[in-house]
Amino acid sequence: QSALTQPPSASGSPGQSVTISCTGTSSDITGYNYVSWYQQHPGKAPKLMIYEVRKRPSGVPDRFSGSKSGNTASLTVSGLQAEDEADYYCSSYAGSNNFVVFGGGTKLTVL
């Protein structure tokens, strides 16, 4: 069960946009439109930000958007705000053998 690959860190200034990538394989991201993204502040439980590649749960600002191309999914945060500073994890459904896999996480810093 291989983890998805994310950059360990990303950063941007307030008001800017930043994109975090998540690379998988034909067994997960490529094969299914079931990519989700989670935000985790220190010491807190993760929070769902994007599901099924690009859908936003109620209450999540539209500054957060998701996309997918081939084996790579992306999370874009527009109009960065201080409260966006957190760890972000991607996840994908990986079929009937492995089911769910997570990325290694990306620490987003708002400069």
* Element spanning 95, H or E: helix 95-98
Task: For another protein, give the closer residue by CB, 4 or 80.
Answer: 4
CA distances in angstroms from 94 to 16, 58, 65, listed in the order given: 33, 25, 22
Task: For another protein, give the closer residue by CB, 10 or 32.
Answer: 32
Residue with tokens 């760890």: 87
CA distances in angstroms from 37 to 7, 15, 55, 98, listed in the order given: 14, 21, 10, 18
Residue with tokens 């109620």: 58
How many residues of this chain interact with another protein, rule: CB under 8 A? 26
CB 80 within 8 A of CB 61: no
93 lies in the site for another protein, by CB under 8 A: yes
Over the window 45 to 84, marking each residue x when it contacts another protein by CB under 8 A and - when it does not, the resulting string is xxxx--xx----x---------------------------
Task: For another protein, give the closer residue by CB, 14 or 57.
Answer: 57
99 lies in the site for another protein, by CB under 8 A: yes
The contact set with another protein (CB under 8 A) reads 1, 3, 32, 34, 36, 38, 45-48, 51-52, 57, 89, 91-93, 97-105
